[in-house]
Chains A and B, each alone.
Chain A
Amino acid sequence: MAEPALALRDLVKTFGATRALDGANLVVERGTVHGLIGQNGAGKSTIIKILGGLYKADGGTIAINGKPLAHVSPRAIEHLGVHIIHQEALLVPTFTVAEALFLGAEPGLGPLLSPRIMRKRAEEVIGRYFDVTLPRGALIGELSPAHRQIVQITRALLNRPSVLVFDEPTAALVRREANRLFGLIRRLRDEGTSIVYISHYLEEVQDLCDRVTILRNGRDVATVDPRDTPMPQIVSLMINRDIDDMFPKVPVPIGKPALTVQGLGRRGHFSDVDFTLHEGEILGLTGLVGSGAKDVLQAIFGLEPADQGSIITHGKQGAINSPASAIRRGLGLVPEDRRGQGIALDISVRENTTLASLGKLTRFGFISRRREGKAVAGLIARLGIKTPGPDARVRDLSGGNQQKVVLAKWLSADSDIYVLDEPTVAIDVAAKVEIYRLLGDLAQRGAAVLILSSDLLELQGICDRILVMYRGHVTHQLRPAETTPEAILAAATGAAAPAEKVAA
């Protein structure tokens, strides 16, 4: 049998007291697509950084095509034909596509560059692998994430790599673009390239990979053929926990109405939306993009106020035309773009937590450190936020923990109606489960939760009711116990006949 294209054996790497890698192995056979999965912190990125020469391993060996590598540096491994496509595009934003493609090996006449030749060659090589024309003359910074990624992949392919590593390549792509990428990966594999594919999306891995190595706590716990390994088994290998625990739904008695919307509408987006959210209830809202589901959420929080209908919170009626008025009425929003809208990355966990509730913590206009400290410590403990301390920068926390900080902010502000917009996008399985548990916890304490999600399993797993929107109307109300992801999807795509009018 031929030597493996890439063999990492017994890798050990410690950072201070933590053991990021504890004897991890990754052996990639020639001409295969090899998946590498694991929760955040399992060691995926550490392995890639060691392979890329960015970290130095404390122990273990790396062999490429059977040849052991004595010295690992970015240049050395590229020389041996291993190219890594990093998650964050390593491209100069002010460069043209051609310049970014050829940087370091620019075609030209002696020291002089020829923009024309470069552009022609760029179009030629991109056309060889992708069926797209990038906007002519556009700078990298002006391109969409998908187009930027095309440039990055082409850049790696210029060197005709024998091993190509993709680190979370589809995070920035919509489905159609992702499918194109998969087509390309299969083609490269068929041409003999060995591929390492790192992803959070298990269905992608199952679809695409010939082998999958599952990492847990810095060790490879298994390498399996994903096609004949059931998904629940893969997930349980990852999280060391049965998949039944994924949705820890605790039945909670439904209380009084907390939020009632009547005839809510915003011209051109949605109309006649009626529903009531009760204390202790988790209400799911879903729909295709453009169905108006997201707009309903934004109207309720006052980001894009409704122009028809009314919103009643705890029996009190009144317009919500700004986030401030929503907060006054006890609403808290966990936005989808948490980095952009949910938290301030560069200030501390403490400051983020009390941002919306400083009024309660001040004395004579000054923040009472003692009271603030107590409140924050309590929330960190209650939500199980993994942080080095209350003064750590939020930027340094994992995605799931950042999301918890957003929740802590509203808890601190005594919100009792939580509006969540795709709360589990781009966070790993374990963090998702913790968020679910937290939402259940909130409901148990009598809070009302409205969650917008396009993760059908999630909706079914944690909601008491699911509202489906289609073309600006709520067309279906489904009960998780009586529905399936397929039925939710049918409702959202309009494949199922809508009910006359749903007043939930």
Chain B
Amino acid sequence: MSSNLIAEQAPAFLDSSADLEDRETRRARHRSQIIRLGSIAALVAVFAYFGVAAPGFANLGNLANIVEQSTVLALLAFSMSIVVLGGGGDVIRGGIDLSLGANLGLCAAAFTVASNAGFSDPVAVAITLAVGAAVGLVNAFAVVALGVLPLLATLAVMNICGGAELVLTQNTVISANSPLLSYITGASWLGLSMTDWILVGAAILLIALVHGTRWGLRLQAVGGQRQAARAAGLRVSAYLTGTYVAAGLLAALAAIVQAARLSGSSPGSGDILLSVVLTSLMSVVFSRRLLPSIGGTLLSVLFIGGLINGFQLLNVSSYWVNGVQGVLILFVVAVRSLSLRRGSV
């Protein structure tokens, strides 16, 4: 039954179609390149504009200040990017950790309360990290063991954290002071404060871990195509659990930085969540694979930080920043859906 005789007899055409597919491949590649280069150009343009127009923007001290103000956001956004990488980029079913902001608040409260209760810094740090990791474990349990959608699971955990924070702090500002806290804000090395160095160190470590090791590659496989990861013999649930616990630990680290910067804990620190989601989503446009990345997240965070700082220097109302963030979210989500429409994923 020689059904497709025609196809057999037309090698010339088929050859050209193979070339066409190569061209299709190149085109898809160029598209992601254009997005990436365009985004970097936009970032450079915005910074260049502020450098010229906003007095004192390009000042080294001011730039260090931007980094310092961005540290807490960056640590949380790194966590988010790791969770999204491992859980997959699907906005509804993919990985997301909405509890990061609330976890930050809870951990900051835990640190100040522990510190005020007379525990030494190392013990308080250990308690804080344990709280952060525990929250991550609860997330992981709900997502991995119970199979709840991450979006819903972490939303519930966000509420639990918020409640626990209120119980700890009675919804009040608690001030704290400890050698560690003053070291983080006070000490400096090579002109950069310890806060800056925490960000630099975390970024380097995470870039190496996520983008340079076997663990990171496999994590991306788990998020990119779970079946393929399973077929390659990877233990998917271990990787997923790992992402939420790592996110919790990073939130605890961010909480200590936050406690240092605010000299204690104050309610409302969970409000940072929207910026965390934005910067992690935005990191996609800086990546060759159109995936969240640590480096891209860092660029996004600095971009947003620079934007806020520049607006302040230009005496533009900070309300505008909200509008700009909203436009950015729309832009990033649009780019993502366009790239998905390629149909290859």
Evaluate contact between A92 and B221: CB separation under 8 angstroms. Answer: yes
**Chain B residues positioned under 8 Å from A203 (CB to CB):** 1-3
**Chain A residues positioned under 8 Å from B179 (CB to CB):** none
- Asked whether A135 is an interface residue with its Cβ less than 8 Å from the other chain, the reply is yes
**Stretch in A16-24, A99-107, A257-265, A352-360 touching the partner:** A99-107
How far, in Å, is A424 (CB) from chain B's closest CB? 9
- Asked whether A1 is an interface residue with its Cβ less than 8 Å from the other chain, the reply is no
**Chain A residues positioned under 8 Å from B291 (CB to CB):** 94
Contact with A along B205-235 (1 / 0, CB 8 A): 0001000111101101100110111111110
- Asked whether A112 is an interface residue with its Cβ less than 8 Å from the other chain, the reply is yes
Evaluate contact between B4 and A455: CB separation under 8 angstroms. Answer: yes
- Asked whether B182 is an interface residue with its Cβ less than 8 Å from the other chain, the reply is no
**Chain B residues positioned under 8 Å from A112 (CB to CB):** 208, 212-214
User: Do A91 and B225 form a contact, CB below 8 Å, given A103-B218, A203-B1, A289-B13?
Assistant: yes
Complex Cα–Cα for A489 and B8 (A): 10
Evaluate contact between B345 and A93: CB separation under 8 angstroms. Answer: yes
User: Do A135 and B1 form a contact, CB below 8 Å, given A99-B217, A104-B232, A141-B344?
Assistant: no
- Asked whether A56 is an interface residue with its Cβ less than 8 Å from the other chain, the reply is no
Complex Cα–Cα for A106 and B212 (A): 12
**Chain A residues positioned under 8 Å from B6 (CB to CB):** 286, 288, 454, 456, 489, 492-493
Complex Cα–Cα for A104 and B214 (A): 8
**Chain A residues positioned under 8 Å from B225 (CB to CB):** 90-93
From the candidates B9, B21, B28, B214, name the one contacting A108 in the complex (CB within 8 A).
B214
**Chain B residues positioned under 8 Å from A201 (CB to CB):** 3
Evaluate contact between A457 and B1: CB separation under 8 angstroms. Answer: yes
**Chain B residues positioned under 8 Å from A138 (CB to CB):** 25-26, 28-29
- Asked whether A182 is an interface residue with its Cβ less than 8 Å from the other chain, the reply is no
User: Do A289 and B10 form a contact, CB below 8 Å, given A94-B220, A94-B224, A112-B213?
Assistant: yes
Contact with B along A66-90 (1 / 0, CB 8 A): 0000000011001000000000001
Evaluate contact between B220 and A92: CB separation under 8 angstroms. Answer: yes
**Chain A residues positioned under 8 Å from B17 (CB to CB):** 174, 289
**Chain A residues positioned under 8 Å from B9 (CB to CB):** 489, 493
Q: Of residues 128 to 153 in A, which have CB atoms within 8 Å of B's CB atoms?
A: 135, 137-139, 141-144, 146-147
- Asked whether B271 is an interface residue with its Cβ less than 8 Å from the other chain, the reply is no
Complex Cα–Cα for A243 and B289 (A): 50
User: Do A135 and B22 form a contact, CB below 8 Å, given A111-B213, A175-B7, A454-B7?
Assistant: yes
**Chain A residues positioned under 8 Å from B218 (CB to CB):** 103-104
- Asked whether A113 is an interface residue with its Cβ less than 8 Å from the other chain, the reply is yes
- Asked whether B11 is an interface residue with its Cβ less than 8 Å from the other chain, the reply is yes
Evaluate contact between A202 and B1: CB separation under 8 angstroms. Answer: yes
Complex Cα–Cα for A142 and B233 (A): 25
**Chain A residues positioned under 8 Å from B344 (CB to CB):** 93, 141-142
How far, in Å, is B165 (CB) from chain A's closest CB? 37
User: Do A135 and B215 form a contact, CB below 8 Å, given A92-B229, A289-B13, A457-B1?
Assistant: no
Evaluate contact between A113 and B212: CB separation under 8 angstroms. Answer: yes
Complex Cα–Cα for A94 and B216 (A): 13
Evaluate contact between B18 and A177: CB separation under 8 angstroms. Answer: yes
How far, in Å, is B102 (CB) from chain A's closest CB? 30
Q: Of residues 281 to 303 in A, which have CB atoms within 8 Å of B's CB atoms?
A: 286, 288-290
Q: How large is the interface on A (under 10, 10 to 19, 20 to 34, 35 or more residues)?
A: 35 or more
Evaluate contact between B24 and A144: CB separation under 8 angstroms. Answer: yes
Complex Cα–Cα for A13 and B81 (A): 43
Q: Secondary structure of the A side of the interface?
A: mixed
User: Do A106 and B214 form a contact, CB below 8 Å, given A90-B225, A139-B289, A286-B6?
Assistant: yes
Complex Cα–Cα for A100 and B224 (A): 11
How far, in Å, is B217 (CB) from chain A's closest CB? 6
How far, in Å, is B343 (CB) from chain A's closest CB? 9
Evaluate contact between A456 and B3: CB separation under 8 angstroms. Answer: yes
Evaluate contact between A235 and B224: CB separation under 8 angstroms. Answer: no
**Chain B residues positioned under 8 Å from A74 (CB to CB):** 230-231, 233
Q: Of residues 326 to 345 in B, which have CB atoms within 8 Å of A's CB atoms?
A: 342, 344-345
Evaluate contact between A113 and B345: CB separation under 8 angstroms. Answer: no
**Chain B residues positioned under 8 Å from A456 (CB to CB):** 2-3, 5-6
Interface size on B, residues (CB 8 A): 49
User: Do A106 and B217 form a contact, CB below 8 Å, given A92-B224, A288-B10?
Assistant: yes
Complex Cα–Cα for A489 and B291 (A): 48
User: Of all chain A residues, which has the CB nearest B22?
Assistant: A135
**Chain B residues positioned under 8 Å from A176 (CB to CB):** 11, 14-15, 18
Evaluate contact between A457 and B213: CB separation under 8 angstroms. Answer: no
**Chain A residues positioned under 8 Å from B220 (CB to CB):** 92, 94-95
User: Do A95 and B224 form a contact, CB below 8 Å, given A103-B218, A457-B3?
Assistant: yes
- Asked whether B76 is an interface residue with its Cβ less than 8 Å from the other chain, the reply is no
Evaluate contact between B25 and A135: CB separation under 8 angstroms. Answer: yes
- Asked whether B142 is an interface residue with its Cβ less than 8 Å from the other chain, the reply is no
Complex Cα–Cα for A454 and B6 (A): 7
Complex Cα–Cα for A78 and B220 (A): 23
How far, in Å, is A379 (CB) from chain B's closest CB? 29
How far, in Å, is B86 (CB) from chain A's closest CB? 12
**Chain A residues positioned under 8 Å from B234 (CB to CB):** 103-104
User: Of all chain A residues, which has the CB nearest B16?
Assistant: A290
- Asked whether B96 is an interface residue with its Cβ less than 8 Å from the other chain, the reply is no
**Chain B residues positioned under 8 Å from A143 (CB to CB):** 25
- Asked whether A485 is an interface residue with its Cβ less than 8 Å from the other chain, the reply is yes
Contact with B along A170-182 (1 / 0, CB 8 A): 0000111100000
**Chain A residues positioned under 8 Å from B157 (CB to CB):** none
- Asked whether A458 is an interface residue with its Cβ less than 8 Å from the other chain, the reply is yes
User: Of all chain A residues, which has the CB nearest B20?
Assistant: A144
Evaluate contact between A455 and B18: CB separation under 8 angstroms. Answer: no
How far, in Å, is A310 (CB) from chain B's closest CB? 30
From the candidates A90, A175, A202, A493, name the one contacting B231 in the complex (CB within 8 A).
A90
Q: Of residues 115 to 135 in A, which have CB atoms within 8 Å of B's CB atoms?
A: 135
- Asked whether A231 is an interface residue with its Cβ less than 8 Å from the other chain, the reply is yes
Evaluate contact between A146 and B21: CB separation under 8 angstroms. Answer: yes
Complex Cα–Cα for A457 and B2 (A): 8
Complex Cα–Cα for A457 and B246 (A): 61
Complex Cα–Cα for A229 and B228 (A): 39
From the candidates A141, A174, A458, name the one contacting B7 in the complex (CB within 8 A).
A174
**Chain B residues positioned under 8 Å from A290 (CB to CB):** 13
**Chain A residues positioned under 8 Å from B25 (CB to CB):** 135, 138, 142-144, 147
How far, in Å, is A447 (CB) from chain B's closest CB? 25
User: Of all chain A residues, which has the CB nearest B215?
Assistant: A111
Contact with A along B95-116 (1 / 0, CB 8 A): 0000000000000000000000
Complex Cα–Cα for A421 and B4 (A): 15
**Chain A residues positioned under 8 Å from B288 (CB to CB):** 139
Evaluate contact between A175 and B11: CB separation under 8 angstroms. Answer: yes
Contact with A along B136-149 (1 / 0, CB 8 A): 00000000000000
Question: What are 8 A-B pairs with beta-carbon distances under 8 A?
Answer: A95-B221, A138-B25, A138-B28, A144-B24, A147-B25, A289-B13, A455-B3, A458-B3
| In the A-B complex, the 5 residue pairs with the closest CB atoms | A104-B232, A144-B21, A141-B344, A92-B224, A142-B28
Which residues of A are interface residues toward B (Cβ below 8 A)?
Answer: 74-75, 78, 90-95, 99-100, 103-104, 106, 108, 111-113, 135, 137-139, 141-144, 146-147, 174-177, 201-203, 231, 235, 286, 288-290, 454-458, 485-486, 489, 492-493
Q: Apart from A94-B289, A147-B21, what are 10 other A-B pairs with CB-CB below 8 Å? A: A92-B225, A93-B344, A93-B345, A95-B221, A135-B26, A141-B342, A141-B345, A174-B18, A175-B7, A457-B3
